[in-house]
Structure 1
Amino acid sequence: MVSTAIRRAVAKRLRANTTPHERILWRALKELPVDGTHFRRQAPIGPYIVDFFCPAKRLIIEIDGGHHNDDETAKHDQERQLWLEKEGYRVIRFWNSEITGDLMAVLERVYVELYGSRDAEVRR
Structure 2
Amino acid sequence: MNNKLDPQLLMFAKSMRHTATDAEQLMWQLLRAKRFMNLKFRRQHVIKPYIVDFYCHEIGLVIELDGSQHNTEDGKEYDAERTKFLEALGLTVVRYWNHDVLERTDVVLEHLWSVCTELKNTSP
- TM-score computed with the length of structure 1 as normaliser: 0.86
- 2:109 is matched with 107
Partner SS, residue 88 of structure 1: coil
- 2:79 is matched with 77
- 2:16 is matched with 14
- 1:63 is matched with 65
Is the counterpart of residue 33 in structure 1 residue 37 in structure 2?
Answer: yes
Give the superposition deviation at 1:102: 1.0
- 2:89 is matched with 87
User: C-alpha separation between the residues in 1 aligned to 2:37 and 2:77?
Assistant: 35
User: C-alpha separation between the residues in 2 aligned to 1:87 and 1:77?
Assistant: 15
Give the superposition deviation at 1:108: 1.3
Sequence identity of aligned pairs in percent? 34
CA RMSD of aligned residues (A): 1.6
Give the superposition deviation at 1:74: 1.1
- TM-score computed with the length of structure 2 as normaliser: 0.86
Partner SS, residue 11 of structure 1: helix
Between stretches 24-33 and 12-21, larger displacement belongs to 24-33
User: C-alpha separation between the residues in 1 aligned to 2:40 and 2:107?
Assistant: 20
Give the superposition deviation at 1:15: 0.6
Spell out, residue by residue over 1:19-75, the C-alpha distance to the aligned partner (whole angstroms, 9 max, x if none). 1110011111233131xx100000000200000000101100000001111111111
Is the counterpart of residue 46 in structure 1 residue 48 in structure 2?
Answer: yes
Q: Gaps (5+ residues) in structure 1?
A: none
| Equivalences, count | 114
Q: Gaps (5+ residues) in structure 2?
A: none
Where do 4+ consecutive residues of structure 1 move more than 3 Å? none
Spell out, residue by residue over 1:79-110, the C-alpha distance to the aligned partner (whole angstroms, 9 max, x if none). 00000001111000000111112101111111
Q: Which letter maps to 1:94?
A: Y
